[in-house]
Amino acid sequence: MDRAQETKPGNAIRVVGRDSLGRHRMLSAGMEARQIEAVGSLVAGSLAEVHPDAAETAYAAVTAFYALYDERPVKDNKGGSGFNDSLWLFVTASVLRPEVIVESGVFKGHSTWLLRQACPGAEIHCFDPELGNLVYRDPEARYHAGDWNETAVAVSGRPALAFFDDHMDQGRRVLEARERGFRSLLFDDNFPADNLYATGHPPLPSLAMIFDESLPETAEISWVRNGKVYEATLDMTARKRVKPLIEIYSVLPDLAPLTRYSAGSGLTLVKLFD
């Protein structure tokens, strides 16, 4: 490499090598550790509110995640979870320690890989009508090409987690999960009504909309994304059945101010009453 060409005059910064991990990161001793400390405190504190004995496990899981993320088999996961959402998924699954996991919305398999790293012995069921995008296939997981309504998954009293990253009606997912015996749910893409443009095909309604009492039960809603105009009929008549099932509704904090990685879609943890 010609160092002279990669160094700006009057600037103390020198280009000294190349890296192929695909993640912007600090290399100097102690610098990444500082970030892990800050992220670990935020994550452990947030999860402890939901799961009282979570703090220690959460902190250790955050530390483990930083090294783990660099080993991910799906390096380009555009359209799926990035660093911050991946961290929440891995850490929350590590804390909850489910024996049965349903993942609805698999895409390339990155989130399946994270769930497997967090819960090596779990029975994992992966649902996606379009399994042709898989880059990572978990050798032990059971793959179902379709919606989870089409296949019964027996929870049988075991600790279970359902992760919904399928852009479907989140109120409906709560009702279905409760019916199937799930009590811990994680949702991606829980956008409020004022920024539906943040993702393609947003869940309608999202839980944020269901909890927003200022929204009417039914309405026409319209938005623009990537130059296309979308409209949909918002139907929240299930709100009255969904809200009473929810014991804890926790929108997990945005890690972007600490990591400066893309805010992503954010994850929301839901605990249902027994």
Ligand X SMILES: C[S@@+](CC[C@H](N)C(=O)[O-])C[C@H]1O[C@@H](n2cnc3c(N)ncnc32)[C@H](O)[C@@H]1O
Binding site for ligand X (CB under 6 A): 77, 79-81, 104-108, 110-111, 127-130, 147, 165-168
Contact 96, 159 (CB under 8 A): yes
The CB-of-143 to ligand X minimum distance in angstroms stands at: 11
* Closer residue to ligand X in complex, CB, 123/188: 188
Of 59 and 81, the one with the shorter C-beta distance to ligand X is 81
Spatial CB neighbours of 230, under 8 Å, sequence gap ≥ 6? 196, 222, 223, 224
CB of 200 to ligand X, least distance (A): 8
Picking from 153, 150, 57, the residue whose alpha carbon sits closest to that of residue 101 is 153
Comparing CB distances to ligand X, the nearer of 55 and 124 is: 124
Q: What is the smallest separation between the CB atom of 102 and ligand X, expressed in angstroms?
A: 10
Q: How far is CA 111 from CA 21, 172, 192, 203, 262, in A?
A: 18, 22, 23, 18, 17
The residue of the chain with the least Cβ separation from ligand X equals 80
Q: Which is nearer to ligand X, 215 or 267 (CB)?
A: 267
* Least distance CB 189 / ligand X (angstroms): 7
